[in-house]
């Protein structure tokens, strides 16, 4: 089966391909725009995106939206994570967190998948903490300032290890379960 992955990020397509290779699913990168509504919920962004792409005639596709939700900042940057990374960067986030004792945060990833008329939406969450300084050189985005367990940051561990606990890894496992349940893979 071919599955269209709608994203600007070729790295995501590679990650998904690696997870789906054993199921004879070929990921096809579709670098195409869809509207990202302004809302506090990743699920709403994904829901609207799926409806739009379906209405435009796309079939057998998946999209995702992810973000870092920091409790002491009332969930910021959340759905604005890409913008927060571009404008504030990790140093800016650490500055906002100066003197803040509650370091709890979570990464979330919502994946929406449409195969024929079957519609699957899953959300993976990875709870953790914001560190006091950037650590490590692996990964991307907020990886150097996030730790799932209070020890190493996501940027200090290999991608395979990150995938076993990460929001995207968890969401992908949930999607695979749902596809299996429905006999689609
Ligand atoms: P996207 O909209 O799903 O591409 O992600 C929004 C932003 O969240 C990205 O620009 C990244 O900065 C951040 N992000 C999402 N997932 C991760 C991750 O696994 N590690 C670090 N940052 C992430």
Domain boundaries, the chain: 2-181
As its CATH architecture, domain 2-181 has: Alpha-Beta Complex (3.90)
Query: Is 38 a residue whose pLDDT tops 90?
Result: no
Q: How large is the average pLDDT for residues 94-113?
A: 98
65 is catalytic: yes
How far, in Å, from the CA of 113 to the mean position of ligand 1? Answer: 19
How much is the pLDDT for 34?
95
CA distances from 154 to 30, 159, 162, 176 (A): 28, 8, 6, 23
Report strand pairing: 118-130 vs 104-115.
antiparallel
Token pair 């910021």: residue = 76
% of the chain with per-residue pLDDT over 70: 100
How far is residue 111's CA from residue 182's CA, in Å, rounded to a whole number? 17
CB-defined site of ligand 1, < 6 Å: 9, 64-67, 81-82, 85, 107, 139-143, 154, 166, 168
Q: Which residues contact 114 (CB under 8 A, 6 or more apart)?
A: 50, 53, 54, 59, 60, 61, 62, 120
Pick from 113, 119, 111, 118: which is nearest to 166 by CA? 111
Q: Model confidence over 137-156: pLDDT tens digits?
A: 998 899 999 999 999 999 99
How far, in Å, from the CA of 109 to the mean position of ligand 1? Answer: 9
Q: Point out the ligand 1 atom lying closest to the alpha carbon of residue 82.
A: 10
Average pLDDT taken over every residue of the chain = 95
Q: How large is the average pLDDT for residues 115-136?
A: 97
How far is residue 155's CA from residue 159's CA, in Å, rounded to a whole number? 9
Q: Are 30 and 4 in contact (CB under 8 A)?
A: yes
The active-site residue, picked from 24, 35, 60, 65, is: 65
Q: Are 113 and 179 in contact (CB under 8 A)?
A: yes
Q: Point out the ligand 1 atom lying closest to the alpha carbon of residue 154.
A: 20
Q: Point out the ligand 1 atom lying closest to the alpha carbon of residue 67.
A: 8
Query: CB 176: neighbour CB atoms within 10 A?
Result: 17
């Amino acid at each position: 089966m071919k599955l269209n992955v709608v994203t600007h990020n070729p790295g995501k397509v590679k990650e998904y391909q690696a997870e789906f290779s054993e199921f004879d699913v070929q990921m096809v990168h579709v670098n195409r725009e869809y509207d990202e509504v302004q809302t506090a919920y990743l699920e709403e962004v994904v829901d609207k995106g799926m409806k739009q792409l379906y209405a435009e005639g796309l079939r057998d596709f998946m999209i995702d939206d992810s973000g870092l939700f920091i409790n002491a900042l009332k969930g910021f940057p959340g759905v604005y994570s890409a913008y927060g990374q571009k404008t504030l960067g990790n140093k800016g986030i650490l500055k906002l967190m100066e003197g803040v004792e509650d370091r709890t945060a979570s990464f979330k990833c919502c994946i929406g998948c449409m195969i024929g008329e079957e519609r699957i939406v899953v959300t993976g969450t990875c709870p953790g903490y914001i560190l006091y300084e950037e650590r490590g050189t692996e990964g991307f985005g907020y990886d150097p300032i996030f730790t799932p367990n209070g020890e190493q940051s996501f940027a200090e561990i290999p991608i395979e290890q990150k995938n076993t606990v990460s929001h995207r890894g968890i969401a992908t496992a949930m999607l695979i379960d749902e596809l299996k349940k429905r006999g689609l893979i």
